[in-house]
Amino acid sequence: MVQGKVRAILHVDMDAFFVSVELLTRPELVGKQIIVGHVGERSVVLSASYECRALGVKSAMPMSIATRMAPKAIVIEPTQGLYRTYSARIMEIFREVTPLVEQLSVDEAFLDVTGSMRRLGPPPVIGTMIRKRLRDELGLPASVGIASSKFVAKVASTGAKPDGMLVIQPERTLEYLHTLPVGALWGVGAKTAEVLREMGIGTVAQLAATPENTLSRRLGTTGNHLYALAWGRDDRAVETEREEKSIGAEATFAVDLWDEEALRREILHLGHRVAARLRQANKVAGVVALKLRYSDFSTLSRSRTLPVPSNAAGELVGAVEGLLEKLGARPQAVRLVGIRAEKLTEAGGGMQLSFDPRDDNWRQAEATMDLISSRFPAGALRPASLLERGQKDK
Residue 240 lies in a domain: no
107 is in an annotated binding site: yes
Same domain for 345 and 389?
yes
Residue numbers annotated as active site: 108
Same domain for 310 and 226?
no
Same domain for 270 and 203?
no
DSSP SS3 for 165: strand
Positive or negative torsion for Cα 204, 109, 9, 19: negative
| CATH number of the CATH domain containing 345 | 3.30.1490.100
Considering the entire predicted model, what is its pTM?
0.69
Rounded to an integer, what distance in angstroms lies between the CA atom of residue 236 and that of residue 240? Answer: 12
Residue 274 lies in a domain: yes
Residues 97/113, Cβ–Cβ less than 8 Å: yes
Same domain for 63 and 158?
yes
Tell me the residue type at 363: R
Residue 41 lies in a domain: yes
Residue 322 lies in a domain: yes
pLDDT at 370 over 60: no
Rounded to an integer, what distance in angstroms lies between the CA atom of residue 14 and that of residue 141? Answer: 6
Same domain for 211 and 281?
no
Same domain for 100 and 149?
yes
For 323-336, what is the mean pLDDT? 90
Q: How many domains in the chain?
A: 3
Rounded to an integer, what distance in angstroms lies between the CA atom of residue 259 and that of residue 358? Answer: 29
Between 81 and 316, the more confident residue is 316
Same domain for 352 and 263?
yes
Residue 237 lies in a domain: no
pLDDT at 254 over 80: no
209-252: pLDDT as tens digits: 999 999 999 999 999 999 999 999 999 999 887 666 889 998 88
Residue 295, φ and ψ in degrees, nearest 5: -60, -35
Same domain for 163 and 190?
no
Same domain for 14 and 110?
yes
What pLDDT score was predicted for residue 348? 66
331-352: pLDDT as tens digits: 889 989 999 999 999 886 444 4
Residue 236 lies in a domain: no
Residue 54 — very low, low, confident or very high, per pLDDT cuts 50/70/90? very high
| CATH number of the CATH domain containing 194 | 1.10.150.20
Cβ-Cβ contacts under 8 Å for 79 (sequence gap 6 or more): 21, 22
Residues 160/182, Cβ–Cβ less than 8 Å: no
Cβ-Cβ contacts under 8 Å for 221 (sequence gap 6 or more): none
Question: How many residues comprise the chain?
Answer: 394
Residue 235 lies in a domain: no
b/e sequence 78-87, b meaning 16+ C-beta within 10 Å = eeeeebeebb
Tell me the residue type at 23: L
136 is in an annotated binding site: no
Q: Please tell me what DSSP assigns to residue 179.
A: T
The CA distances from residue 276 to 213, 269, 271, 380, in Å, are: 45, 11, 9, 13
pLDDT at 140 over 90: yes
Residue 377 — very low, low, confident or very high, per pLDDT cuts 50/70/90? very low
What's the domain range around 257? 246-393
- Minimum mean pLDDT range among 5-19, 229-243, 318-332: 229-243
Same domain for 183 and 164?
no
For 238-267, what is the mean pLDDT? 85
Same domain for 335 and 212?
no
Element (H, E) at 306: strand 299-310
